[in-house]
Every structure is written in structure tokens, then in C-alpha cells.
Structure 1
Amino acid sequence: MVMWVFGYGSLISRAGFHYDERVVGFIKGYRRVFYQGSTDHRGTPEFPGRTVTLEPAEGEICWGAAYKILKKEDEETALEHLEVREKQYDKREYLDFYTDPNATSPAVTGVLVYIATSDKKSNVNYLGPASVEEIARQIVEAKGPAGPNRDYLFILEKALLQIGCKDQHVIDLANEVRRILAEEH
């Protein structure tokens, strides 16, 4: 049994586990949003950073990278890694993954995706929607054990552009963070 993992945030540029193949593509019915609080990597419990999660969105697609893992021991190691890395994400989904926007059938079915839901009972770190300015200001201020929250945003922006994806939400946030930083200096 082959395992596939879909990354739509930091996994695009840094999987952190051994994989046999990396394929660029997308999932349908979701959009990437900076609504998840990070109190363990890009922020602290006192000042959470913001990371991406997926929000159901009819007719939308979310580009990213899928990782194919063939060996059972690599799968176990990858899952251990992801359970720590994605521990603030409260839902695991198995979704269809596409590589061709015109395709009617998926390239891969059952790709594992970690999602942080808006359910405050199972996801205490969900921050939810805010204006681009509010989210950007929070990203500028937050930093955690993995570094400044702005680095997460800029690395994601670069990774998305490298795979040919122009995500307007990410671009708008990155531009607003750059504007705030320029204003402060």
C-alpha cells in the first residue's frame, strides 16, 4: 500500500521526511487561509503566529505538493514526524489529488491532508478570519521556536511561485507584511 501526503503550507518547501516522489498538483473544494494559530512553531501561547489551513470553498482549488512514500518504515517515520509537526491540526482527510486542471479523474485518490478546523473544542488554536492588515500585523510580531512567523509566510510565497501558483491570499499578506516592515525601518 502506497501512502501519499499532500502539503499546502511549509510541507511544499520542506517535507522533513523521506519520500520516493514529489508531484505538484492540487485538491478541489478548498482554499488556503492563514487562520490557524501556531503556538509551538511560529509563535508562542502568549502571542500565536499564523499558519495556513484549508477552508472548504465550493469551486476553489488549492495547489501544493504530494509526496509518495513506498516503504512501510518510511511511512511510519513520516507519520511520526507529521503527528508532531501537525499536532495543532485536528483533522485528517483523505482527498483526491489532481495534476491537470482539465482532468475529470484524480491523479491519486486518498492523499492524506492535515486540516485545522474552526471547531474550538478540538482546535483551541484556531484564530479564524481577519483583515489582511490584522493578519499581517500578527505575522510581523510573532516568532516562535521555528523562527519568525514572517519567514514562514515568505518561504511559502516563494515555494508557491516556484510551483507556478499565484495564491492571492498569500501574495496580499506577503506584500502587506513587507509594507509594515518597510514602514518600521
Structure 2
Amino acid sequence: MAEARKSITVQNGVTGEDAKACWIFGYGSICWKPDFDVKKVVFGSIRGYSRKFWQGNKAHRGTKDQLSRVATLVSDDKSVVHGVAFIVSDEQVIQNLKEREITLGGYTTIFTTFYPSNGPSFDILVYVAQQDNDMWLGDAPMPKMVDQIMRSKGPSGHNVEYVLRLAHFSKMHFPNIKDDHLYGLEDALMQKIQEMKLPLDSLMGDGKDCVTYVLSDEELDFNRHELDQERTNSFQYTTDVPDKKLRCLNI
């Protein structure tokens, strides 16, 4: 599979005029495959929502006869969703996103607060699928969701790729964050692929439009400081904590 061709530097928070700009929150395929020229990007989270694969799609990873399952956000006061904030200043990009997410995807827009991993919070636009849109699939038993995802593909590629690349992105950049829904789907899909003896490459595409993220020097320094603080604060408990290995999918 081809390596990602575009590298994006993650900014160290947002200050000045950038805080007043139009920012869009990415929590699905836009995290690893933005279809527009990225000017600035910040990692962080929004609160009061959980990410669920409850929205159908017939334009990108599915068809009208076989809807795929893609991510949306569901209100949940106790949950946090981690992802990417993209600054958007080009009117054509905004129109393209409106076509992709609203006209074709069935999403609506809301504004909420984005909390960067470093720096002050700011307002952000989020695309969310409501239950009254005509492609809403809702919850289902895990085997049924896996079956739908395994059978779905569209102009943008296979539904499996959507889920696995998002899981890979999340583990790579937010390794300490739990996401039982996303990782449960990932594990179930990988088990099904192995049972069916399918070549993973046949489901994942060539990856030519994927991106990689590089932390700025300031962000690296901040992360090191946070890690040092975490180690200091938790030192007394380390003898009681079992070793864990980060599971990263080699895609």
C-alpha cells in the first residue's frame, strides 16, 4: 500500500486572529484524508458527545442500495471526542464541505467549544447527523454493523478502510484515549477479515491521498512536559500498573 504523500505540521494551540477564524472539527475520515488544502491544524477535543458509526452513506463509502456506516456524534454529557481542528478560509472549500457533508452526507451543522491539547479553547463548527435524516441507521448489534461495513464500498473506497484508518489515526495521535465503539469495531472487522482470509490491501486502497501529521517543536516540548508531569504524579502507583503494548495497525 502506498505511503501517505502529504505531511501536515500540528500547531501549538491557537492565538490572535486565528482564534476568530472559521475552524472545522474533524472526527471521521477528514482526520486522515482531508479533501482540501490544509493551512493550519490543531489537535484537541470537544465535550458532551460520543462518536458512533450510526450514520449511513450512499455517496462515498456506500451506495443507495448498500449504505455504508460512517461516524457521527451523539449527545453524551460524560463523553469526549478527540480529533482535529482545521482552519478554513477559502469560500470554495466551505461550499465543497457543504456539498459533501450536508447535501450528500445528510449532516447538519452546530457550533461547540474546541479544547486544544495546548492553549485556550475556541468555537468550532461541527457536522453532525441527526436522527431524522433519511440515511440514519442508528445502533445495531456488533455482528450486524460488521456485516454492513464488510459489504459496503463506494466511489471513495471500501467502508472497512474508513473504520480502520480512523482507528489507526486515533491510536497514533491519542494513544491514551479509550474509544470502545471505534476500537470494538476495528477488532471485530479484523477478526472477520482473518476468518474470511481476505487480503487487507484489497480493502484499504492505495493511501495516496492520506496525510501524516508532524508535531511542531513547541507541541513536542509541551507533550514531553505533560508526560514528565504524568510520570511524576503517578510514580507511586507504577509498581501496581501492568505493562501495556500499544496496538497499532500497520496500514
TM-score (norm 2): 0.66
8 Å contact kept, 1:16–1:81: no
Cα displacement (A) at 1:157? 0.7
Is 1:60 equivalent to 2:79 in the alignment? yes
AA at the equivalent of 1:93: I
Aligned structure 1 segments of 4 or more residues deviating by more than 4 angstroms: none
Equivalent residue pairs, number: 174
Cα distance in 2 between the residues matched to 1:169 and 1:133: 13
Equivalent of 1:129 in 127, 130, 139: 139
8 Å contact kept, 2:43–2:117: no
Cα displacement (A) at 1:21? 1.2
Cα distance in 2 between the residues matched to 1:145 and 1:15: 16
User: Which structure 2 segments of 5+ residues have no match?
Assistant: 1-19, 198-251
Cα distance in 2 between the residues matched to 1:144 and 1:126: 17
Q: Match of 1:77?
A: 92
Report the identity percentage: 32
Is 1:138 equivalent to 2:152 in the alignment? no
TM-score (norm 1): 0.88
Cα distance in 2 between the residues matched to 1:148 and 1:15: 17
Q: Match of 1:94?
A: 111
Cα distance in 1 between the residues matched to 2:22 and 2:36: 13
The structure carrying a bigger helix percent of its residues is 2
Cα displacement (A) at 1:100? 4.3
Matches within 5 A, 1:32-51: 32-51=51-70
Cα distance in 1 between the residues matched to 2:31 and 2:178: 14
Q: Match of 2:162?
A: 152
Q: Match of 1:117?
A: 130
Q: What are the superposed Cα offsets for residues 136-168 of structure 1, whole Å, 9 maximum, x if unpaired? A: 111011111111100111111111112214422
